[in-house]
Amino acid sequence: MKPSDGERDEDDPESVDGQFGPQSENEGALLRRARAIQLRIEKFYGLEAGPDVGDFVHQASEDVRESLLLRQAPDAIEMLLLLPSTSGASSLDHHMQLVEGVSHFVYVAERARIGLPATALELELQAEVDKFVLLALDRVRFSSEWAHRVRQVLFDRVRYLHGVETEHGRRYRLANDLAAKVSLRISELRARAGARSWLMRFYRSGQTEKIRLARAA
């Protein structure tokens, strides 16, 4: 695993915004926030520490969406994570782009570590679940009311950037629908320990099992 050289919008209610870090940032702050998100994801799912995401981040302009670029080298996977900067007040969409990009990075690194592949749908689905986990579940106290509000923002009030007739559009919509089912299952479990155990199993599953677990939720 080494650095390389070389999709959705969510609504932004004040009650959910502001859950991640400062309102504006320079490159150093962006790297610190990305690293903090990585550590939270790794800790929640009980993962081995992976490579520092900060070594793979490139700060892009504000109008560029997050993107994880991958290239298979002879002896490693090369990665470059593009994360949008913000020069003014950042939005929930910006926060969630950071979570999505870091989620993709952590998932690819973990799957590479254990020698398993990762599909594009797996990446999108896991990222949607990770957003819910960090906003609604990885807290001192779990609140079903708060989880319901987060679920509405993440999965109900969605504006897609790609049409339903496109491959990306179909994949994002499927990931959103499956993640919404997962979020309902987690909210019903209520007990944080039981929810975390279920989510750890979900994280370590491949695409077929992820879909089965989500649809059975």
Structural domain contains residue 14: no
158 and 82 in one domain?
no
29-33, 158-162, 170-174: the lowest-pLDDT one:
158-162
Same domain, 154 and 95: no
End residue of a domain, out of 51, 84, 113: 113
109: in domain: yes
**pLDDT for the residue 187:** 81
Q: Which of 73, 91, 113 is the last residue of a domain?
A: 113
Do 199 and 182 have their domain in common?
yes
Worst-scoring range by mean pLDDT, 7-21, 32-46, 148-162?
7-21
Judge if 139 and 199 occupy the same domain.
Answer: yes
What digits encode the pLDDT tens for the residues 94-103?
899 999 999 9
Whether 14 has a pLDDT exceeding 50, the answer reads no
Average pLDDT over residues 89-116: 92
Average pLDDT rounded to a whole number, residues 62-88: 86
Residue 130 located in a structural domain: yes
Q: Is 148 helix (H, G, I), strand (E, B) or coil?
A: helix
Give the chain's mean pLDDT: 85
Number of compact structural domains in the chain: 2
* Judgement on whether residues 59 and 106 belong to the same structural domain of the protein: yes
200 exposure class (CB count in 10 Å sphere: 0-12, 13-18, 19+): middle
Q: Classify residue 183: in a domain, yes or no.
A: yes
Same-domain pairing of 131 and 185: yes
- Give me the pLDDT at residue 190, please: 63
Exposure string over 74-92, b if 16+ CB within 10 A, otherwise e = eeeebbbbbbbbbeeebbb
Please name the residue ranges forming H helices in the chain. Answer: 27-45, 92-113, 120-132, 144-151, 167-189, 192-203, 207-216
Of residues 33 and 20, more confidence is placed in 33
Q: What is the pLDDT of residue 63?
A: 78
Q: How much is the average pLDDT of 181-195?
A: 81
CA distance 29 to 24: 9
Average pLDDT over residues 14-33: 62
- Same structural domain for residues 27 and 78? yes
Q: Say whether both 94 and 141 belong to one domain.
A: no
Band of the pLDDT at 217, cuts 50, 70, 90? confident
> Region 178-204: what's the mean pLDDT?
87
Cα(50)–Cα(141) distance, rounded to whole angstroms?
A: 28
Dihedral angle computed from the Cα positions of residues 64, 164, 212 and 70, in that order, rounded to the nearest 10 degrees:
-30
Residue 71's CB is within 10 A of a number of other CB atoms, namely: 12
Tell me, yes or no, whether 12 lies in a domain.
no
Q: Are residues 142 and 88 in the same domain?
A: no
38-65 pLDDT, tens digit each:
999 999 999 999 999 999 999 987 778 8
One domain for residues 192 and 124: yes
Q: Is residue 51 part of a domain?
A: yes
pLDDT at 141: 76
Choose the final residue of a domain: 53, 87, 113.
Answer: 113
Check residue 144 and give its pLDDT.
Answer: 79
Answer yes or no: is 50 within a domain.
Answer: yes
Give the least confident one: 151-160, 185-194, 195-204: 185-194
Q: Hey, is 11 helix, strand or coil?
A: coil
Residues 93 and 134 in one domain: no
**Model pLDDT, residue 22:** 41
The 10 Å Cβ neighbour count of residue 179 is: 24
Do 105 and 28 sit in the same domain of this protein? yes
Q: What are phi and psi of 47, to 5 degrees?
A: -90, 155
Kindly state the tokens that stand for 20: 């991640």
Look up the domain containing 160 and give its range: 120-216
Contact 181, 129 (CB under 8 A): no
Nearest of 84, 95, 80, 73 to residue 21 by alpha carbon: 95
- Residue 175 domain-assigned? yes
- Return the bridge partners of 2, or none: 78
Q: Is the pLDDT of residue 191 over 80?
A: no
